[in-house]
Amino acid sequence: MNPGPLAGRVALVAGGTGAIGRHVATGLAAAGAAVAVHCHRSAGLAAEIVRECGGGLAVCAALPGERAAERLFATVEAELGPVTILVNAAEPGGALGVAAVADVEAGTLERHLDGVRAHHDLCRRALPGMRAAGFGRIVFVSGALMARPMPGMGAYAAAKAAASALTRYVAAEEGGHGITANVVAPGRVAEPDAPEPDDPALLEMSRALRQRMALPRFPTAQEVARTVVALTFPEFDQVTGQTVWLTGGEFTS
């Protein structure tokens, strides 16, 4: 048994097959947690990440939806035990495109808002078990766009802001049960050797962000994940209702 700080804890990583979610899952496992890696469709990739974790559970669920969330948690609880750590690193459906508010199609906005609904469904299902355990850690991976508008990102930013606000309400309401809830908000996330985006609008956004940053580069997915994992440790019980900005020193609020 791993004697790490999360030994005996069960963690569910929603969006666990994404770049950040993958590193969160392996980081939680390294700290001793039994990890369930959630995916929307990529069951094979989720199973691969579970192997990287040295065990755990791969589970697919098409969120949002209360019934889907119920099936997801019931499966994890039956295999691993009660979930006391919930990390939501899922991204809104569809490609991250640049479009002015006047040009955003209704379907696009709905896909982004599905992320808010899914976060609500996950928190609502996780909280009773966390209350019963007297311990809970919820971390939502948001984005700095919710605080510093960049033209063309309104739908994405609005959804991230809504789910972030929901997380802070959970912190205010559940602290008496030993539950913390925090937001981690990176700016752009990039791997060191990744090419620049092909979209000219995204390329210009990246250039504008660099000019506003104190540090010389964007954080990697692994660096974001380290912050997320740290916030789940028992000793961080006085950190709740906070937004941790991983923006390289960029002014965000």
Residue 169 bears catalytic tag: no
Residue 42 bears catalytic tag: no
Would residue 136 be called left, alpha or beta, if left means φ above 0 and alpha means ψ between -120 and 50 degrees? beta
d(CA 126, CA 139): 12
Residue 160 bears catalytic tag: yes
DSSP H helices in 31-102: 43-53, 66-79
Task: Kindly state the tokens that stand for 8.
Answer: 């005996």
Largest pairwise CA distance in the chain: 55
Count CB neighbours of 221 within 10 A: 19
Out of 156, 164, 206, 253, the active site residue is 156
In DSSP terms, which residues pair with 15 in a beta bridge?
none
Contact 143, 157 (CB under 8 A): yes
Out of 42, 142, 164, 206, the active site residue is 142
d(CA 108, CA 156): 9
Buried b or exposed e, range 29-55, using 16+ CB within 10 angstroms: bebbbbbbbbbbebeebbeebbeebee
Active-site residue list? 142, 156, 160
